[in-house]
Structure 1
Amino acid sequence: MTETTDFASGKGHRDENFPVASRLVRAELRPAILAFYRFARAADDVADHETADAAQKLAQLDRLEAGLRGEPGASPEGNALHASLKARGLTDRHALDLLVAFRRDVTQRRYADWAELMDYCRYSAAPVGRFVLDLHGEPPNLWPLNDSLCAALQVINHLQDCAKDYRTLDRAYIPLDAFAARGLTVASLSDRQAVPPLRDAISALAQRTVGLLHQSRPFAERIADRRLALEVGVIQALAEDLALRLTRRDPLSQRVHHHAVEAFALALRGALGVMGKRFGRIFRANQPGLHGSS
């Protein structure tokens, strides 16, 4: 297996749980986001391939990095992202950070505790949002809010797919201390239905994810680019609903993902919420008598 296509899952940006380069984002910026997404998708597909061995995966991730650094013919996805970043004067730091996480996926199948999982999310999720912020010219002081939201999205995906990850890749992102505290082992993820202690563990992690989303709630309001703010508001609303579902549903035996109508309604609510806050702020700024009021 020597080409990216050998590892491809066939999954595209429209198959993700959360919007990627949606119509809310400025049209001239969407190609750069899609170049970043295709690079990340190619790396993710390599790390998650069910039959390739670790050496093959790491070699292919090296090729993606070589392409990202501008080596001709090393990787089409890497070369395309390199060209996109160079054209806009953007750093390759965020894409390189992603590769740290994907290499970790190849070599590490367990996480000891929440702190270790959050360190993984720092590389697997936060760089995506940081790149989008850089692309829009937003300041780095927004990174902490971005990181909270991106970590929450990552944990939601992990919890939704916990059984599949274990069964197909022998990979568990639910921290080992969550199993041990309830007298469980990782093997409990192979059951058709989660036993009550496992449901409790998943619910507790979902509650911690709700906490991350509480931290990220001011994020959209503080983004200068109006259209990006709307997209972040949509993602925040979708994530909050999924995190709450995971506090009460069993991802081993129940559907957690949104149906299309549910996703649309939540997206609309998220976008309208951001618009309302922005218009409210503008209105207050134009009313001298309201300055300094609480």
Structure 2
Amino acid sequence: MSPAPTPPPASTDAGLAPLTRGVGHYENFPVASWLCPPALRPAVVALYHFARTADDLADEGNWSVAERLAHLAAYRQALQTCLDGTPLPPDTEAAWQRVFGALARAQKQHRFPPHLLHDLLSAFEQDVRYTAAGHAYTGMDELLAYCHWSAQPVGRLLLHLYGIDAPEALAQSDDICSALQLINFWQDISVDHPRGRHYLPADQLERHGLTLADFGAEASSERAVRQAALVAELCADARQRILRGAPLVHRIPGRAGWELRLVVQGGLRILDHLAAIGHRSWQHRVTLVKADLPRLLWRAWRMG
């Protein structure tokens, strides 16, 4: 195995973060917060740093497309070496040694399904390729196929930690994680569009008489109404998905169940913020703020 390319340093952020992908390390992983059971916290942190470092390889720095894909391929090889129980070569970059050392310890204890970890890397590789090609997603089915790699493995890995594998629970987890991924897409249009990352589905754009180019141009009043209607429609779909998965919170015991309640309510609160700006997220990016916390806690408590 050749030496690993030097990656950006893995993030050391920790806290209760929304389960959404975004720019500036607005995390797509519920980091080991004070609500996470202490016995599981090292495994959650290991999973987080694995995903965070791969995301940086796909998204940060000034590498070419070919270089990013080569780095991700080397990272995938390192993952397989880790899963095989073999130490990484001593000349592997130190940051990767730390990432895969922690992941190896977690894997030895918890036996994560390997395909879920590989699926996350497939999502990052697809992002690199699609962004380079200016790919536009044809419809919701194609977006959900991406979520199958990018978001659903996160929930299933966490359920694996809690020993939950009932089919209904897995389906609810998939709904929550896919919804949170979609919410992040609609939240981040103003950030993603200038970077060539296009997630607005082509079939719904066409139905509203819009194109991707409309979201990069100064909108007329009439076009802005159609743009807002499209984003509102997409947000309504995401809300339906997350509410369909929300009963999962009652299957997860103790503090972890409360963390999931807050993650679900965080996604719903983002949708509230999007509605408050008239769904004009191609102009403004909304985020959760500290003032949202009391409302999130109240809503989490009311989930029962």
What TM-score range do you get, normalising by the shorter chain?
A: 0.7 to 0.9
Match of 1:106 among 114, 128, 134: 128
1:261 aligns with 2:264: no
Give the Å deviation of 1:83.
3.1
**How many pairs does the alignment contain?**
270
1:81 aligns with 2:84: no
Decide which moves more: 170-179 or 245-254: 245-254
**Structure 1 unmatched runs, 5+:** 278-294
Q: 2:192 matched to which residue of 1?
A: 165
Give the Å deviation of 1:9.
8.5
**Structure 2 unmatched runs, 5+:** 20-29
Q: 2:43 matched to which residue of 1?
A: 32
Decide which moves more: 17-26 or 96-105: 17-26
CA contact (8 A) 2:151 2:178 kept: yes
Give the Å deviation of 1:216.
1.0
| Aligned counterparts, 1:243-258, within 5 A | 243-247=271-275, 248-258=278-288
| Aligned counterparts, 1:1-294, within 5 A | 2-5=5-8, 12-14=13-15, 16-18=17-19, 19-49=30-60, 51-69=62-80, 70=82, 72-73=88-89, 74=92, 75-76=96-97, 77-108=99-130, 109-141=135-167, 142-168=169-195, 170-191=196-217, 195-223=224-252, 225-247=253-275, 248-262=278-292, 264-274=293-303, 277=304
CA contact (8 A) 2:16 2:33 kept: no
Structure 1 pair 83–24 and aligned structure 2 pair: CA distance change class (3 A):
same
CA distance in 1, matches of 2:124, 2:12: 17
Q: 1:195 corresponds to which letter in structure 2?
A: A
Q: 1:283 matched to which residue of 2?
A: none
1:143-192 per-position Cα deviation (integer Å, ceiling 9, x unaligned): 10000000111011111111211212x11111112222222221223246
Give the Å deviation of 1:204.
0.7
CA contact (8 A) 2:190 2:285 kept: no
1:15-46 per-position Cα deviation (integer Å, ceiling 9, x unaligned): 94344221111012111111111111111122
TM-score (norm: length of structure 2): 0.81
Task: Say which structure, 1 or 2, has more relative contact order (CA 8 Å, 6+ apart).
Answer: 2
TM-score (norm: length of structure 1): 0.83
Decide which moves more: 41-50 or 196-205: 41-50
CA contact (8 A) 1:238 1:267 kept: yes
Look up the SS of the partner of 1:254 in the other structure: coil
1:102-151 per-position Cα deviation (integer Å, ceiling 9, x unaligned): 11101123211011101111110010111011011122421100000001
RMSD between aligned residues: 2.3
Structure 1 pair 140–100 and aligned structure 2 pair: CA distance change class (3 A):
farther
The structure where helix makes up a greater share of residues is: 1
